Structure 1
Amino acid sequence: MESADRVRANTSEAINRRIDRAIEARVREYAQKSSVEITRRIDELDREWDIERLLETNASALAFTGLLLGITKNVKWLLLPAVVLPFLFQHAVQGWCPPVPLLRRLGVRTRKEIDREKYALKALRGDFHTTETAGLPKPD
């Protein structure tokens, strides 16, 4: 099972529905906007950090900080990477770790969720209109 699916499977249905409704609402909102505004939103989505990137970045920063402080200041700081790294491993294996429910409640999305909004906006903009018929013979 893909990681994004595991994150959704380990997220409460209420939170998943809230995230899905927010995506649908934004797509409906952008259906009334210009192509330029849709493009601007797509660019924002390209820069949006998904839950995987956020977890990996935070875990590595905390582990590195704990390691550095454990070596230079006090050995007790080594507890920080000792706690953080198993969480990261747990997330890699199960798609869940203790920070996931909090991040999901804050609205942090999976890459699939971000891409779903992005491709719906591209469809609104008409990106796929020409690809539907590319290479197909014209009807008589």
Structure 2
Amino acid sequence: MIKRGIFMIADFREIIKGDRVRANTPPEINEAIDREIAASVRFYAGKTDYEISRRIEELCSEWDIGRHVETRAAVISIVGLVLGFKRGRKWFVLPLIATTFLLLYAVLGWAPPVPFLRKAGIRTRQEIDVEKYALRVLRGDFDDLFSQENRTENAENFSEINDV
């Protein structure tokens, strides 16, 4: 546990522990994403509140993996339906496959496209939120809750505790 600093938990990965997508992602990919989060927090520790705010805005509009899976399934379904009506019934298999993948993702947190998306660095909503709230703490949004002594020190503490 951090004795002083921005985080009151021993490991930020505890926040996202129950994430089904992370549970179905190879550890090396999760670790790479975790390192990216920690590096971003360290990078923005030395930035102005304006720069931190811009990054938070980017994070708010970043698509999570669920949105990517849902969008791709919808596009494939629509294409399959259009082709099915125009080119032949065999194309109706595309919506069947897409909705099956979508069901797998909803129930298990895994579908065949997920490993490729994770490898490409697509994050879960929880992973995006960890970075966003760490930056909000650096910016001082929670000063009433935490005493913020030094942004750089807080970011280093975050990285040390999380071994990244």
Q: TM-score scaled to structure 1, two decimals?
A: 0.89
Aligned residue runs from structure 1 range 6-85, under 5 A: 6-85=20-99
Kindly indicate whether residue 139 of structure 2 is the aligned counterpart of residue 125 of structure 1.
Answer: yes
- Alpha-carbon shift at residue 25 of structure 1 (Å): 0.2
Q: 1:73, CA displacement in angstroms?
A: 2.3
Q: After TM superposition, which residue ranges in structure 1, 4 or more long, deviate above 2 angstroms?
A: 130-133
Secondary structure, aligned partner of 1:130: coil
For the pair 1:90 / 2:104, whether they are aligned, the reply is: yes
Q: Distance in 2 between matches of 1:131 and 1:27?
A: 19
Q: Distance in 1 between matches of 2:145 and 2:137?
A: 11
Equivalent in the alignment of 1:111: 125
Q: Structure 1 vs Structure 2: percent identity of aligned residues? A: 54
The CA RMSD over aligned residues, in Å, is: 1.6
List alignment gaps of at least 5 residues for structure 1.
134-140
> Partners of 2:146 and 2:29 in 1: how far apart?
35
Alignment-mate amino acid for residue 72 of structure 1:
K
- Displacement of 1:71 in angstroms is 1.1
Determine which structure has greater relative contact order: mean sequence separation of CA pairs < 8 Å that are 6+ residues apart, divided by chain length: 2
Return 5+ residue gaps in structure 2 as ranges: 1-15, 148-164
The structure where helix makes up a greater share of residues is 1
Q: Deviations over 1:96-122 (max 9, x none)?
A: 010000000000000000000000000
Task: Supply the distance in 2 between the matched residues of 1:36 and 1:131 (Cα, whole angstroms).
Answer: 21
